[in-house]
A and B are shown apart, each in its own frame.
Chain A
Amino acid sequence: ELKVEQNPLFLSMQEGKNYTIYCNYSTTSDRLYWYRQDPGKSLESLFVLLSNGAVKQEGRLMASLDTKARLSTLHITAAVHDLSATYFCAADSLDSWGKFQFGAGTQVVVTP
């Protein structure tokens, strides 16, 4: 059974500083997804990583995938208040495409 673990589960960020969220998964998968969720809202797709070594960037967020290490990272550069949200990673496995297994989420709070 595919397991996805995120850490940390809570991250207090200072504006202007850099941080990383880690996502480990347990079985062979070449695909990893990152979502953002604001309180009381649904999930917004951030990144889709489809191959080993994939790197994608959008604004202050950058995500990468290392399928050999079964690890994805979400890097936040120069955090700003607007990035406060909960971030989830999700993976599916080769024998069950579409059946996403989500991590527990990382709650990010950015303060001045």
Chain B
Amino acid sequence: GAGVSQTPSNKVTEKGKYVELRCDPISGHTALYWYRQSLGQGPEFLIYFQGTGAADDSGLPNDRFFAVRPEGSVSTLKIQRTERGDSAVYLCASSLTPDNEQFFGPGTRLTVL
């Protein structure tokens, strides 16, 4: 069956611009997660949704980052006033419930020039 999909696969933007990254989880998975992975490091937790609500957003680095999941399926990670330090691979994962195995998407590579 279809796995987690993310679009775009690559995004290049200029410092100060706004970007949106999209995640389409596995059908039926209630929990959705966003992570950020910098080169040579492990993924770093950003936020997780249970259904439509953000159950834990403690990993969002600052108020430039925001995520939504309005219908409990697709999620969008939004970054305002991008900075060069935001450059990383943004990974999305989903799981059947929060206490289940997480399945990861291919990621979006964000480059801020």
| A positions within 8 Å CB-CB of B | 31, 33, 35, 41-45, 48, 88, 90, 96-105
Contacts of A41 in B (CB 8 A): 106
Interface SS, A side: strand
CA distance A45 to B43 in the complex (A): 14
Residue of A nearest to B33 (CB): A98
Contacts of B33 in A (CB 8 A): 98, 100
- CB pair A105 B41 closer than 8 Å: yes
Contacts of A99 in B (CB 8 A): 45, 48, 56, 58-59
Cβ proximity bits B27-59 to A, threshold 8 Å, 1 near / 0 not: 000010101000011111100101000011011
Contacts of A35 in B (CB 8 A): 104
- CB pair B101 A33 closer than 8 Å: yes
Contacts of A97 in B (CB 8 A): 98-99
Please tell me if B65 contacts chain A, counting CB pairs below 8 Å: no
A90 → B minimal CB distance (Å): 8
The residues in B between 50 and 108 inclusive whose CB is less than 8 angstroms from any CB of A are 50, 55-56, 58-59, 91, 93, 95, 98-99, 101-107
User: Would A98 and B56 be within 8 Å (CB), given that A43-B43, A88-B42 are in contact?
Assistant: yes
- CB pair B101 A102 closer than 8 Å: no
A-B contact pairs, 7 of them (CB 8 A): A43-B91, A43-B104, A45-B101, A90-B42, A99-B45, A99-B48, A104-B41
Contacts of B59 in A (CB 8 A): 99
- CB pair B42 A42 closer than 8 Å: no
Q: Which of A43, A88, A100, A104 contacts B45 (CB 8 A)?
A: A100
